Structure 1
Amino acid sequence: MTTRVMRSDEWANPPSPVRREVLDAAPDGAEHGPPVLFVPGYGHGAWAFAQHWLEHTAARGFPGYAMSLRGHGGSGADPEARLRDYVHDVTQVAAGLPKQAVLVGHGAGALVVAMAMARYPVRAGVLVAPVFGGLGTAFGLLRRNPGGTLPGLFGGRVSLSASQLLSRAVQGTVAQGYARRLQRVPSGAQRELIRRHQPEAPVGDPPVLVVGSPDDKVVAGSALEWVARRYGGSPLLFPGMGHDLMLDARWQEPIDAILDWLEKAR
């Protein structure tokens, strides 16, 4: 992986400014860890981390932040948003934090984080159930959920069901409530995931952890292994959990493992 310093297209056509929603949770006692910025995937907002992981991170002594990408949650709308706009949002929020941050991205948000790490010198990076795109991902979703996936191939909305996102351990009404909160993703950003992305190398060679589940119905095990190998490791797996690890019934297990890893990586 190589890092490209000059990006002339972004100088000529910079991302449009938008309002950015950022939720935060401060430790009750003394801080003993770097700030952790959570970045949700497509369709999700900061709420997905505020449900469990944000406060739990603060309780462990790490200042926690969760943002919504443009067009998601309480952030400003941008119907023409593309991946580069999301990367811009993440790097701007991270650069505004009081200390060098840890970036934690979920789903397509993990791809955004991987791309942001080539611009912002993170303390560490965590890629949770990463969606780096590719035809394998598209065809896998099409096979499991043809009605919800097919419109996305023609510029429409990709709809993921509660059963694709969460394990059966989550109560049905709760799971359906989470699924109903998912928002429409701009067609341009959605189409960009048809091809597999290979982000540039992170600035400064920070430690990177890949986390997922072998029972994820969105990200195949082979995709998890591929992403982990790119960063010189193996994925940390949580069997029996769904794609949205931060909302699943056993949500505490992966976030505690992530924070344990951060404590050792310092």
Structure 2
Amino acid sequence: MKITRWRESALPVRPVSREVLTATPELDSPRPPLLFVPGFGYGAWVFAEHWLDHAAVRGFRAHAMSLRGHGESGRSPRATLRAYTHDVVQVAASLPKRAVLVGHGAGALVVARALARYPARAAVLVAPVLGGLDTLGRALLRNPLGTAPALVGGPLRLRRRQLVSREVPAGLAQEYARRAGRAAPLAQWQLLLHRAPEPPVGEPPVLVAGSPDDAVVPAGALDRAARGYGGAPLLFPGMGHLMMLDARWREPVDAILDWLDQLPTIKE
């Protein structure tokens, strides 16, 4: 772990307003708070649809944030992975207890980077897009017209059936695809070219979850991500990339919350 980070002091990240949505359990709970981090192009709403309230029903105080330039957070057209990581660390540090960080898609990479700067209680990487040519190649093969513009700074446009399974009605799936925004062009480039994140502070337990039928993240990428944290991925066949919006959204979130409840480091 690095003790001195000269860039943070010499080149501070520009502050922006940050959207944070919260769901609170009916009774006080000793469980740590959850902080959900969406992937590129999506705001806090993707977790507010189902997972946020469901986690509160299960006794977790749950928060979902939007990275800068996403959702209702402040605009930042020149944002970098470093700026996105800064957003997550700042929101997590503002919570009254050390949080569990849950990142989806490219948000999982941002969470992995934040773990080197924030002593999380645990972390969950859901359908993680951790960069690299295998994910890019898969996206180009499945949707060349929607993927190619991202290589030159344009928006990434995924088809509705790359996002959710056929169990989701076509109209609703199209609405999810329509609501997708875009990440900053530089951050998109860095997603492909970034270096591996630094090791997490304090060695928190890390779970990787995904679907072998994800049209965005290859099954091999899930295996490699999980091995990097000393485990195996938790798999949910038949689901799309946006697991929190798919028809069987309860299955992965309940499995994640069950995993957290079984961790001795989570119980106080």
State the TM-score, normalizing by the size of structure 1.
0.97
Aligned residues: 264
Whether contact under 8 Å (1:71, 1:78) holds in the other structure is yes
Q: Which residue of 2 aligns with 1:260?
A: 258
Distance 1:161 1:73 in 2: 20
Distance 1:201 1:76 in 2: 29
State whether structure 2 residue 71 is matched by structure 1 residue 69: no
Q: Which residue of 1 aligns with 2:245?
A: 247
Among residues 9, 15, 18, which one is paired with 1:17 in the alignment?
A: 15
- SS at 2:208's partner residue? strand
Offset at residue 7 of structure 1 (A): 2.2
Distance 1:32 1:91 in 2: 22
State whether structure 2 residue 169 is matched by structure 1 residue 171: yes
Whether contact under 8 Å (1:20, 1:70) holds in the other structure is yes
- Listed as ranges, the gaps of 5+ residues in structure 1 are none
Q: Which residue type is aligned with residue 17 of structure 1?
A: P
Whether contact under 8 Å (1:142, 1:149) holds in the other structure is yes
- Bigger CA drift: 151-160 or 61-70? 151-160
Q: Which residue of 1 aligns with 2:37?
A: 39
Offset at residue 28 of structure 1 (A): 1.1
- Listed as ranges, the gaps of 5+ residues in structure 2 are none
Whether contact under 8 Å (1:133, 1:197) holds in the other structure is no
State whether structure 2 residue 185 is matched by structure 1 residue 187: yes
Whether contact under 8 Å (1:135, 1:195) holds in the other structure is no
Q: Which residue of 1 aligns with 2:219?
A: 221
Q: Which residue of 1 aligns with 2:55?
A: 57
Distance 1:97 1:193 in 2: 27
Q: Matched residues, percent identical?
A: 62
Among residues 93, 96, 119, which one is paired with 1:95 in the alignment?
A: 93
Offset at residue 196 of structure 1 (A): 5.4
**CA offset digits 1:173-229 (Å, max 9, x no partner):** 111111111102111001112225411111111110000000001100110011101
**CA offset digits 1:230-262 (Å, max 9, x no partner):** 100000000000001000000000000000000
Q: Which residue of 2 aligns with 1:151?
A: 149
Whether contact under 8 Å (1:135, 1:196) holds in the other structure is no
Q: Which residue of 2 aligns with 1:133?
A: 131
Q: Which residue of 2 aligns with 1:211?
A: 209
**CA offset digits 1:102-147 (Å, max 9, x no partner):** 0000000000001101110001000000011011111111111000
- SS at 1:24's partner residue? strand
Whether contact under 8 Å (1:53, 1:255) holds in the other structure is yes
Distance 1:264 1:74 in 2: 35
Q: Which residue of 1 aligns with 2:106?
A: 108
Whether contact under 8 Å (1:132, 1:197) holds in the other structure is no
* Aligned CA distance change for structure 1 residues 115 and 48 (closer, same or farther; 3 Å): same
- SS at 2:177's partner residue? helix
* Aligned CA distance change for structure 1 residues 197 and 241 (closer, same or farther; 3 Å): farther
Offset at residue 33 of structure 1 (A): 1.5
Q: Which residue type is aligned with residue 158 of structure 1?
A: L
Offset at residue 32 of structure 1 (A): 3.9
State the TM-score, normalizing by the size of structure 2.
0.97
Whether contact under 8 Å (1:37, 1:103) holds in the other structure is yes
Q: Which residue of 1 aligns with 2:235?
A: 237
Distance 1:69 1:246 in 2: 18
Q: Which residue type is aligned with residue 69 of structure 1?
A: L
